[in-house]
Amino acid sequence: MKTEIINRERFFECGYALLEESIPTEILNRFRSIADEIEAKALEYYRRGDTLSGACVIEDSVGPRLMRFDDLHFHYTEDLNRLLATPVFLKLIKELCGPTAIILQADILYKHQHPHPVVKWHQGAPNDPNHAYLNIGIYLDDSDLNDGCLRYVPATHTELQDIESIERDYGWNPPNVVQVPAKTGNVMVQEMMVLHSSEPKRSPGARRTIYVEVRPYAATLEDGKQDEHWIELRRLWMGEILKNDTEGVFTDKEKAFFGENTSLSTHELMKEITEHRCPPIPAVYNYKSTEGPDYPIPADLEAY
C-alpha cells in the first residue's frame, strides 16, 4: 500500500514534481475568493493613488494589474494556517524536509494574459543542495500547456547554470526542457535552485498561484541568511499551523519541537513576523537584455 505522497528519489533527482493529490475543494474555493477580493481591493487602492498593504500593482500597456500579494500570514492568518495544515501539504513537507520543517513565506502571484511580464529563466535562492529548500505552488487556476505553464530543466538544482548562454542559444527550449501543466487545486513542489521559467500567457484572465517557501529548521539556522529571531518566529508559527493537524500527520513528539507559544497571541505573532524582516535570498537571473530564439517574447506576440 502506497503511503508516501511523493517519490523522494525521483524528486531529488529532477528537482520538481507535480503531486497526484490536490487541495480540498472547500479550502481551495476559499482562496479563490480571497484572490478575487485582494485583486479588487488592490486595484481600487491604486486608482485612488494609494497602496494596499502587501500588494504590487504594475502598469501594463493595457492598464494597471496586480502582480503579487505578499504576507498572507498577516492578512489571512486563519485561512492560511488551515491551508498549510491540510494533510497533503503537511505530508509533503514532512517527507521532503523532515519533522522540523518551517514555513518561511507565503504569497500569491498573479500571471495575466500577454502583454504582461514573462518569467525568464532563473534559479531560486542559492543554497546547500544537501538540504531541501522548497518552493511549493498551490494552483488556484488551471495552468495549461503552451499557455505560460512552468517550464523546467530537470536536474539543474545542484549548481548554478549559465543562464545567459541558455537564453541566447535556446530561448524557451533548452535541451531536456519540460513543460508542466497543472489543474486548479494541484500542488507543484520544486527545489529552489531548479532552472525554471514561464513564457507569456495567451489565454484571457489571471492565473493565481500561492507560493510557499519551506526549509528544515536546522538548515535555515546553518545557512545564516536570516537572524535567529526571524527563524524562531517561524518555528512558533509552525506550532500554530500544527494546531490544525487533525489527522496527526505530525506526532505529538514532533509537534513538541515547535513548543507552546505562550507569550504572544496569534495576531501578535503574525504582526511580529511581518515587522521583523530579513532580506530574502535573491534569485539568480541573467540581468542582461539577452535575446534568443523566440525569446523572451515569441514573434507572434511581439505586435501586442
pLDDT, one tens digit for every residue, the chain (304 residues): 346 899 999 999 999 999 999 999 999 999 999 999 999 999 999 999 999 999 999 999 999 999 999 999 999 999 999 999 999 999 999 999 999 999 999 999 999 999 999 999 999 999 999 999 999 999 999 999 999 999 999 999 999 999 999 999 999 999 999 999 999 999 999 999 999 999 999 999 999 999 999 999 999 999 999 999 999 999 999 999 999 999 999 999 999 999 876 788 999 999 999 999 999 999 999 999 999 999 999 999 975 5
DSSP state of 28: H
Model's pTM, two decimal places? Answer: 0.96
Residue type, 151: R
**Kind of pairing, strands 101-111 and 63-69?**
antiparallel
Number of Cβ within 10 Å of residue 232's Cβ equals 15
Does residue 218 contact residue 133 with C-beta atoms inside 8 Å? no
Sorted by sequence, the CB contacts under 8 Å of residue 219 that are 6+ apart come out as 127, 128, 131, 132, 133
The H-assigned helical ranges of 5-160 are 8-14, 25-47, 72-75, 77-84, 87-97
Alpha helix segments (H runs only) across 71-162? 72-75, 77-84, 87-97
| pLDDT reported for residue 97 | 98
- One-letter identity of residue 78: E
CATH match of 8-221 with 2.60.120.620: yes
Look at residue 304 in the predicted model and tell me its pLDDT.
Answer: 58
pLDDT at 1: 35
CB 96 within 8 A of CB 136: no
Measured at the CA of 247, the angle between CA 244 and CA 251, to 5 degrees, comes to: 85
d(CA 109, CA 96): 24
Q: What is the pLDDT of residue 4?
A: 86
* Residue 297: all three cell numbers together: 517574447
Q: CB of 17 within 8 A of CB of 189?
A: yes
Domain boundaries in the chain? Answer: 8-221
